[in-house]
Amino acid sequence: MSIPFKSSPVEFNQHLLFPTNIFDLLPPDHECFLYAGLFQQIDTSSLESLYSVKGQNAYHPRFIVTILIYAYSQGVFSSRKIEKRCNEDLSFMFIAQMNCPNFRVLSDFRKDHGEFFQDCFNQTVKLALEVELASLGRISLDGSKFKADTSKQSGFIRQDKVLRLYRGEWGDCDSA
């Protein structure tokens, strides 16, 4: 008798007649849509004036800040990991507009424009507070340190104790 397993409702290798929007796979209330709207309100005019018309076109500062702050909100801080997520994670692809910068671009931006980046981060927090996405409350950390009560040797059962217990020699196991 054959077990009736579920079959895939979609022919996986079949091409679609009309291409779908890949971001339709994200739920409509996904946070990346909210972040994208929030980041459009960041003021980057102070940094835009530093860029030159000459040379290769640069990424817009708002674009880099958007990627970095979204990555920070997701707990990703390494530039290499951010680049990897921009190429693999659908929500990062949406934030990066399917145009992921190299990890060096991200790290150089952080190094070269640290004060501007902090200012943009502060702007983002203020905007999030206005839209009631965040709240500032009291956070406390306890830095207490306690000395451990066990040592490496007392955490393990000695082999001779195990053998005595196994043989039924229950007598003097605790003193060994």
- Give the pLDDT band of residue 161 (cuts 50, 70, 90): low
In this prediction, residue 37 carries a pLDDT of: 85
The answer to whether 82 and 106 are in contact (CB under 8 A) is: yes
- 157: tokens are 């059962």
- Quick check: 37 and 94 in contact, CB under 8 A? no
CB 158 within 8 Å of CB 176: yes
CA–CA gap between residue 100 and residue 82 (Å, rounded): 9
Phi, psi of 20 (to 5 degrees): -95, 160
pLDDT digits over 121-135, tens only? Answer: 888 888 888 877 777
pTM score: 0.67
35 pLDDT more than 60? yes
Q: Which residue do the tokens 């079959």 mark? A: 7
Res 166: pLDDT: 65
